[in-house]
Amino acid sequence: MKVFCPNCGTENEGTQASRVTCRACTASFEVPNESGQGPAPQPQQPSFGGRPVQSFDRATPQPMQHAPQPVVVQPPPQVWNPNAPGAYSAPPSAGGKNNVLAVIALVSSLLGCLCLPAIGSLTGIITGFVALSQINASNGGQKGRELAIGGIVISFLGCFGWLGYFVLAAASGR
């Protein structure tokens, strides 16, 4: 038989003259029998989440039952520091100066591409590899790895470019 909870109004199943526990608010109540005997139905109160809602009259304010606890706001565990390393700044420079041979490799490779094909490109390749070995042996004491690699790559491109030019010139009969 369908019965409604007198506390929250939720529909429950029960038998006559038995005790039922509401499935929503867990209130216990008796199911009246057909003759109407049993507990008198209580007026339904509005509820929120199974708990009765207390209504307040504006004419007679109710005192507060307990004072609200103050809200404590704590900063997050890690606060951004603009002066911290890696906070949108340039990475710290590794110690040491640029390797001289790395600079020579880059300059000679550019000269090899532009005007001195054999001498500049070969000088760029040789000095680039020597500079890389010196930079690796210094354990961070020297910089210029990018310059040496750039010199080697540009030198090889210059060699192949000039070689292609001479092959095409020979094939065309000039």
Rounded average pLDDT over 65-75: 68
For 16, the token pair is 């006559």
Cβ–Cβ < 8 Å for 6, 16: no
Rounded to two decimals, the pTM is 0.45
The whole-angstrom separation of Cα 117 and Cα 84 is 49
pLDDT digits (tens, 9 = 90+) for 115-152: 887 888 899 999 999 999 999 898 888 899 999 999 99
pLDDT digits (tens, 9 = 90+) for 90-116: 555 556 788 999 999 999 999 988 888
Q: What is the mean pLDDT of the chain?
A: 78
